[in-house]
Amino acid sequence: MSKEKKIRNRERWMKKYFKRFQGREKTNYDEMIQGDYNRAIERAHDLSSISKADYQNAQPILITVPDSYTDADRVAYRLDKLQDGTMTLRYDQSLVTSLFFGEDSLYYHQCNIDHRDGKIGFDVAGEFNYFDVVHMETAIKYDKPEHPKYIILDLELTLIDGTIVPLHLRNHRLHEGYELPGLLTEKEKLVLDQIKSRVRGRRS
């Protein structure tokens, strides 16, 4: 793959990139998005008052789903062909959930990112002890059962005081030629297994 030019005007580049619904992957896009994710993790650390030492035995997991930055915005999509021939769906705005697995507690952070210009906002950070989870509910839903456009995967954790912690794990847009590999993706299975095994381990 030829070396890509450095982006000087991010908003203009992103607008052109998402003008086409389908194309080949661009490393410039991946680098920009990774930069956004890194800043989201930094914000999670600051808002949760944690550092890597608080989750040193497990890498943080980032879950991203398409979500408009404001009600006035509209998410743009692009189906990219990767070097290995597989397809992946890109989007220019997202809801990012970061999970940090501590020894006894789960720290979580959510924020919206506008990848068109790199804005991050609407942060929510929290934590709970695995022992305090009394109920876990996993649900696969559709936005409109009659004519669905999205398949949604949610995990709800109910704490001993009645607080419900919702984790939005998937908002998959249905497209011809871009199918899910099975009931769950590898990352979704990892998140569910990690949370449920830790909660169940504290009950025994």
* Per-residue pLDDT tens digits for 177-193: 667 778 999 999 999 99
The answer to whether the beta carbons of residues 66 and 151 sit under 8 Å apart is no
Number of residues in the chain: 204
pLDDT of res. 203:
81
* DSSP conformational letter for 51: -
94 has pLDDT over 60: yes
Separation of alpha carbons 129 and 197, rounded Å: 13
Q: CB-based contacts of 91: which residues, under 8 Å, 6+ apart?
A: 66, 75, 76, 77, 78, 115
Per-residue pLDDT, averaged over 151-175, amounts to 92
- When the pLDDT of each residue in the chain is averaged and rounded to a whole number, the result is 92
Adjacent-strand bridge partners of 159:
133
> In whole angstroms, how far apart are CA 2 and each of 17, 19, 80?
17, 22, 17
Q: Looking at this protein, which amino acid is placed at residue 112?
A: N
Secondary structure of residue 79 in the 3-state scheme: strand
Percentage of the chain exceeding pLDDT 90: 73
Cα–Cα dist 11/114, whole Å: 10
Cβ neighbours for 202, distance < 8 A, ≥ 6 positions apart: 104, 129, 130, 131
Note the pLDDT of residue 168. 93
- The pTM of this model reads 0.89
* Residue 111 β-bridge partners: 96
Least Cα distance to 111 among 92, 127, 126, 96 occurs for 96
pLDDT at 1 > cutoff 50? no
* CA distances in angstroms from 7 to 36, 51, 97, 203, listed in the order given: 15, 32, 27, 51
